[in-house]
Structure 1
Amino acid sequence: MTRTAASPASAAPARATGRRRDATANRAALLAAAQRVLAGDPHASLDAIAQSAGLSRRALYGHFSDREELLREVIAIGAGRFNAIAEETSDPDPRVALAHMAARLWREAYAVRASANIALDDAHVAETVRALAPLRRRVRELTREGVASGAFRGDVPPELLAFLIEETARATLRELRLTTQHADAAVVRVVLSIAGLSWQEQVALLDAHPEILAGD
């Protein structure tokens, strides 16, 4: 049986498909390496990231024009996961919903440390704020519900309360620097305190809903 060689016209699309597949794989490898390396050192160089991915610095520049573009992509990956948690977290009681969200976001931040570390860097605040718009919108919704129902403090407007919750949570994360896997209780308590719950009310809430800190 005689085999016929592939014509140049048919071979070219195959080569192009192979190059696209390689490029996609390399980009994924670079992003995975960036998250891995930046989790340990938020200021890691592009050389360190490329080396971790098993690629050259030149290959990295084929996908990202500079370090900032790579960091923005890492932020976007983490933000997508954080925003999904915010959208998925709900409960008829806004106190429970807020506590669930805070705990789940902490655990996710611990899992994707690179995104969290970059997000906590003052140099990337603006980028982080834009990327986390859905999460911030959900926090505002919860504060409006909580204030309207009397579950949250009513001495400040809901929009200001949402801002205070966001900034306090961020400051707490900066202090903890994702150094312990069991700091979710601290984060939850801080958020609930800003929302207006006393420590006794926090204890009662968490005792009634152990799944919040158990990882539901």
Structure 2
Amino acid sequence: MPDPRTPRRDAQANRESILVAARTALTRDPNASIDLIARTAGLSRRALYGHFEDRSALITELIRTGAQRFNTIAERPLDDDARIALAQLASRLWHEVAHIQTVTAIALDDAHVADTAAALAPLRQVVTDIVERGRRADALRTDIPGDVLARLIEETARMVVRVDAVGPDAAATAVRTVLSVAGLSWREADAVLTAHPEIGPEVAE
């Protein structure tokens, strides 16, 4: 007998199709209505409300599932050198964001940033650890407290996403900006990217 706690397969498929449709619709129009999202999913508005009570709940779920992807990226091995580790992490996250940039910008707006911050707690801890390691090695700036520096790096990454930079050098620009806030001069940031050309371009996993 099926476990009553396990969602029916078709219900789970509908839920996934709603999330995919929401990403598609919001990428085209950040103000996409719940009706448009339902139509994009090939479902009625009533069917959508069977999974999400309102548009805000749907956005919250998009944030949660997106955060899972970012947290998984943060679990991947990073260089022992904090400068290189920060560049690697910034680049990897940028390439993930580039695929869903509009939805990511919505997740980072003032209405949702608190939920996003909570969902990204594992990633934020990785950034904090990199900052502390870099400060101990005198590789990252020590003129301001470590928790403040980690927050500034986070806010800078948020700003870069909202700027909506595009083009082949967009990832490198994001990395340079983060490294600059972390205390590197533009020449030092350039040296990191020159020594590690794999950091900027998107590479196949």
Distance 1:24 1:73 in 2: 14
Which one of 96, 119, 123 corresponds to residue 135 of structure 1?
123
Aligned partner letter, 1:81: R
Which one of 156, 170, 173 corresponds to residue 161 of structure 2?
173
Deviation per CA, 1:110-130, whole angstroms, max 9, x where unpaired? 112354122222110111111
> Tell me, what secondary structure is at the counterpart of 1:55?
coil
Q: Which residue of 2 aligns with 1:3?
A: none
Is 1:148 paired with 2:136?
A: yes
Q: Which residue of 1 aligns with 2:114?
A: 126
Is 1:188 paired with 2:163?
A: no
Size of the aligned set, in residue pairs, is 200
Q: Which residue of 2 aligns with 1:200?
A: 187
What TM-score comes out, normalization by structure 1 length? 0.87
Deviation per CA, 1:16-72, whole angstroms, max 9, x where unpaired? 9xx922211111111110111112222210011000011100100011111111111
Is 1:70 paired with 2:58?
A: yes
Is 1:87 paired with 2:75?
A: yes
Q: Which residue of 2 aligns with 1:54?
A: 42
Deviation of the 1:157 alpha carbon:
1.4
Deviation per CA, 1:96-122, whole angstroms, max 9, x where unpaired? 110011011011011123541222221
> What is the percent sequence identity of the aligned residues?
53
Distance 1:144 1:73 in 2: 32
Deviation of the 1:182 alpha carbon:
4.1
Aligned partner letter, 1:193: S
Deviation per CA, 1:155-204, whole angstroms, max 9, x where unpaired? 1111111011111111122122x554641111100100011111111111
Deviation of the 1:95 alpha carbon:
0.6
Question: 1:168·1:190 contact (CA, 8 Å) conserved in 2?
Answer: yes
Which one of 24, 27, 31 corresponds to residue 39 of structure 1?
27
Q: Which residue of 2 aligns with 1:22?
A: 10
Question: 2:30·2:103 contact (CA, 8 Å) conserved in 1?
Answer: no
Report which of the two structures shows the higher radius of gyration computed on alpha carbons: 1
Deviation per CA, 1:73-97, whole angstroms, max 9, x where unpaired? 1001111111111121411111111
Alignment CA distance shift 1:63-1:135 (3 Å): same
> Tell me, what secondary structure is at the counterpart of 2:200?
helix
Question: 1:77·1:115 contact (CA, 8 Å) conserved in 2?
Answer: no
Alignment CA distance shift 1:215-1:179 (3 Å): closer
Alignment CA distance shift 1:59-1:181 (3 Å): farther
Deviation of the 1:207 alpha carbon:
0.6
Q: Give every structure 1 segment of 4 or more consecutive aligned residues whose post-TM-superposition deviation is greater than 2 Å.
A: 112-115, 178-182
Q: Which moved more, 1:80-89 or 1:193-202?
A: 80-89
Distance 1:180 1:206 in 2: 17
Q: Which residue of 1 aligns with 2:85?
A: 97
Distance 2:64 2:167 in 1: 24
Question: 2:105·2:161 contact (CA, 8 Å) conserved in 1?
Answer: no
